[in-house]
C-alpha cells in the first residue's frame, strides 16, 4: 500500500477515506479501528504498514504528544492521521506514571515491568487511597494543517493482583468505577471496555470532528 494518494479509496457508493493511525501498538490499533469504524466509513492503516516511524514523544501533556504523532504521520504520508496518547494517573503517586506510562519502568517499554513497578510503588498505600484514572488525548491532523484534539478519561482504582487476559498495559490492575462487579479492564470483553474506556470516550467525541474535516 502506497503512502501517497488522495486520502480516499473506492467505497462503492462514494469515496471511503483512508486514515493513518499513528501507532505500532497492536492492542491500541485494534481499539482505534473498532471504535472509529462504529462511527465512520474509513480504512484505518497503521503507520508501520507505511514504513513511518513514530516521532519522539517529548511533549509534557497527552494532548501535545498526540498532536506530535498525528502531525508527523500526516506530513509523511499526505493522508489524514489519527493519533492518541494515553496513560495512567495515580493520585497517590502524584499523577505518575502520567505521560511516561508506556516507559514507566524504563526502555525498552515492557508491560510486565511497568505493572511490577506500579504495584511496588503502591505497596504501602491502602486500597481506598489507590484512586487513579486512565487519560486519553485523541488527535486528528490533516496535511493542510487543520487539526483537533480531545480528551477522554476513565476513573477507577489500582489492585495488586493482575486479573484477566484482554486489553494491554495496566488493564489487569485497573478496576473502573463504572464496573460494579470488580472486574479489571483485562477481564472485560472488548465491547464492554470500548463502551466505558478513556480511548473510547476520546475517539467517539472526536469522530464528528473527523467526519467534518474529511468532508471538507
Domains of the chain, start order: 8-215 (3.90.950.10)
Q: Are strands 131-141 and 81-90 parallel, antiparallel or unpaired?
A: antiparallel
The answer to whether the Cα torsion of 65, 186, 181, 128 is positive or negative is negative
* Among 100, 93, 3, 102, residue whose Cα is nearest residue 45: 3
From CA 87, how far away is CA 64, in angstroms rounded? 13
Global pTM value = 0.84
Measured from the Cβ of residue 194, the count of other Cβ atoms closer than 10 Å reads 18
28-41 mean pLDDT: 76
Q: Which residue in 85, 91, 155, 171 is the catalytic one?
A: 85
The reply to whether 85 belongs to the active site is yes
pLDDT digits (tens, 9 = 90+) for 159-181: 999 999 998 899 999 999 999 89
pLDDT digits (tens, 9 = 90+) for 89-144: 999 999 999 999 999 999 888 999 999 999 999 999 999 999 999 999 999 999 99
Amino acid at each position: 500500500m502506497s503512502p501517497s494518494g488522495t486520502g480516499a479509496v473506492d467505497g462503492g457508493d462514494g469515496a471511503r477515506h483512508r486514515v493513518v493511525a499513528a501507532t505500532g501498538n497492536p492492542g491500541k490499533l485494534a481499539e482505534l479501528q473498532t471504535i472509529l469504524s462504529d462511527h465512520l466509513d474509513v480504512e484505518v492503516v497503521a503507520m508501520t504498514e507505511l514504513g513511518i516511524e513514530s516521532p519522539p514523544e517529548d511533549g509534557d501533556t497527552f494532548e501535545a504528544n498526540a498532536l506530535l504523532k498525528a502531525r508527523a504521520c500526516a506530513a509523511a504520508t499526505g493522508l489524514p492521521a489519527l493519533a492518541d496518547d494515553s496513560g495512567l494517573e495515580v493520585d497517590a503517586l502524584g499523577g505518575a506514571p502520567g505521560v511516561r506510562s508506556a516507559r514507566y519502568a524504563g526502555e525498552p517499554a515492557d508491560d510486565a515491568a511497568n505493572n511490577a513497578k506500579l504495584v511496588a510503588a503502591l505497596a504501602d498505600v491502602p486500597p481506598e487511597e489507590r484512586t487513579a484514572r486512565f487519560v486519553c488525548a485523541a488527535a486528528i491532523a490533516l496535511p493542510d494543517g487543520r487539526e483537533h484534539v480531545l480528551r477522554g478519561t476513565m476513573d477507577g482504582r489500582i489492585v495488586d493482583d493482575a486479573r484477566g487476559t484482554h486489553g494491554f498495559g495496566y488493564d489487569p490492575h485497573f478496576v473502573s468505577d463504572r464496573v460494579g462487579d470488580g472486574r479489571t479492564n483485562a477481564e472485560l470483553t472488548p465491547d464492554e471496555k470500548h463502551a466505558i474506556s478513556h480511548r473510547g470516550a476520546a475517539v467517539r467525541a472526536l469522530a464528528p470532528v473527523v467526519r467534518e474535516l474529511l468532508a471538507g
